[in-house]
């Protein structure tokens, strides 16, 4: 009994120390948990220990302190089985991220400028990390860092496009190695959810967004990303931020313009850019094959479970039009996007199939300017003059 009380006191003290913001000897506490693992298991304390260790790891990571000893413990089966799938995914991702050579090798692709080297690197990294389910997130994160540096490499647009194709070739090769139950697209989706990707994307400047947009559109064409992942984690997020904007922000407007461009290309363009009025437009789709690829991806959104997300997001697209903290120019651009989308045949066909869902989302008490604008937006879709 005395021994039992002693271990209870040790456990309580160790947990309390870990919760202190300035805890010093984390290694000693981790050693205590490791040495007496059987005792903690018999006390049914592994779940509590795991949660506390993960919270400590998150805190240390934010302050850029080493926490690999914690990740090692949490990766063990006796602790892993008590963690949520999201936490386990994050632990795997953070463990891979501690391997710095993976970052440098991807960034150094710009020096080789070789498609063969890009393919070889993709295969080497796959062999090295194929047993880690979070590898797709880490690969994407590092590729994005590589693409971000493209603007600094050359002012020439055609040369920057070559760099984008180089990183795209690497990512496409790696994507083809991933199993169907752990695609790159799902990894990117988790990256946005767990790696602060949304915040990172919202902070890019206009020049960076020019390159990133081209890269994203290329990755959709190659089948590495789905349109639903791009819209759900970029466009819809940008519309929400713009609708909720409480003060003028050039950064928010840059993000919104990029989101509108991606929306237009992925959901509206049915004519190749090279056949458009501005024939020098270098942004995909550039030919009929690319148009068809985007249309196929678009159809998956409109016939899949993500269709309601489109309708929900459009409410924010309507509301941002009323936000005086945005410039009139970007608001007019958003209005043009919304009106074109509402009149597009694929969207309208889908809207009529889900008309009751649309009404529930759009029609409210009509007691405010927002509600009236929503009702007008719905009328534009269904082409009715009065009554809903």
In angstroms, rounded to a whole number, what is the distance separating the alpha carbons of residues 374 and 356?
Answer: 15
Q: Read off the pTM.
A: 0.74
Please state the rounded mean pLDDT for residues 244-262.
Answer: 96
Q: Above 90 in pLDDT, residue 217?
A: yes
Q: Write out the two tokens for 310.
A: 């489109």
Q: What is the pLDDT of residue 306?
A: 82
Residue 280 CB burial class (10 angstroms; 0-12, 13-18, ≥19): exposed
In angstroms, rounded to a whole number, what is the distance separating the alpha carbons of residues 191 and 185?
Answer: 10
Q: What is the pLDDT of residue 4?
A: 52
- The percent of residues above 70 in pLDDT, for the chain, comes to 87
Map residue 34 onto helix, strand or coil: helix
pLDDT tens sequence across 128-152: 777 776 788 889 988 998 998 887 7
Q: What is the pLDDT of residue 79?
A: 86
Residue 273 CA from chain centroid, whole number: 27
Q: What is the pLDDT of residue 97?
A: 66
Q: Write out the two tokens for 68.
A: 């690999």
Tell me: cis bond preceding 285? Omega within 30 of 0 counts: yes
Q: What is the pLDDT of residue 368?
A: 60
In angstroms, rounded to a whole number, what is the distance separating the alpha carbons of residues 231 and 269?
Answer: 15
Q: Above 90 in pLDDT, residue 259?
A: yes
Q: How many alpha carbons fall within 13 Å on the CB side of residue 287?
A: 2
* pLDDT band at 386; cut points 50, 70, 90: very low
Q: What is the pLDDT of residue 215?
A: 95
The answer to whether the beta carbons of residues 98 and 68 sit under 8 Å apart is: yes
Q: Above 50 in pLDDT, residue 365?
A: no
Please state the rounded mean pLDDT for residues 47-60.
Answer: 90
Q: How far is CA 230 from CA 18, 186, 211, 316, in A?
A: 39, 11, 15, 17
């Amino acid at each position: 009994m005395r021994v039992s009380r002693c271990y209870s006191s040790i456990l309580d003290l160790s947990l309390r120390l870990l919760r202190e913001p300035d805890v010093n000897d984390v290694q000693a506490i981790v050693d205590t948990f490791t040495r007496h693992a059987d005792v903690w298991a018999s006390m049914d304390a592994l779940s509590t220990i795991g949660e506390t260790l993960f919270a400590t790891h998150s805190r240390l990571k934010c302050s850029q302190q080493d926490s690999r000893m914690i990740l090692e413990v949490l990766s063990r089966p006796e602790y892993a089985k008590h963690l949520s799938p999201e936490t386990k995914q994050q632990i795997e991702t953070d463990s891979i991220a501690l391997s710095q050579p993976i970052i440098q090798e991807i960034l150094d692709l710009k020096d080789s400028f070789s498609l063969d080297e890009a393919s070889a690197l993709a295969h080497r990294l796959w062999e090295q990390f194929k047993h880690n389910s979070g590898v797709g997130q880490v690969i994407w994160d590092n590729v994005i860092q590589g693409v971000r540096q493209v603007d600094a490499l050359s002012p020439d647009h055609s040369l920057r496009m070559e760099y984008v194709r180089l990183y795209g070739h690497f990512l496409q090769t790696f994507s083809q190695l991933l199993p169907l139950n752990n695609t790159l697209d799902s990894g990117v989706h988790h990256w946005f959810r767990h790696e602060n990707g949304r915040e990172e994307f919202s902070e890019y400047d206009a020049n960076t967004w020019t390159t990133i947009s081209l890269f994203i559109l290329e990755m959709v064409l190659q089948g590495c990303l789905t349109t639903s992942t791009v819209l759900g984690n970029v466009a819809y997020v940008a519309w929400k931020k713009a609708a909720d904007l409480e003060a003028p922000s050039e950064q928010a407007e840059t993000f919104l313009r990029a989101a509108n461009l991606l929306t237009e290309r992925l959901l509206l363009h049915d004519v190749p850019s090279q056949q458009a009025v501005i024939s020098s437009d270098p942004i995909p789709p550039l030919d009929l094959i690319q148009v068809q690829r985007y249309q196929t991806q678009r159809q998956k959104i409109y016939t899949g479970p993500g269709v309601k997300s489109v309708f929900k997001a459009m409410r924010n697209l309507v509301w941002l039009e009323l936000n005086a903290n945005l410039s009139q120019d970007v608001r007019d651009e958003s209005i043009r996007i919304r009106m074109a989308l509402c009149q597009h045949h694929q969207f309208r066909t889908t809207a009529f199939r889900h008309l009751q869902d649309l009404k529930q989302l759009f029609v409210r008490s009509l007691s405010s300017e927002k509600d009236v604008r929503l009702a007008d937006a719905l009328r534009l879709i269904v082409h009715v003059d009065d009554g809903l």
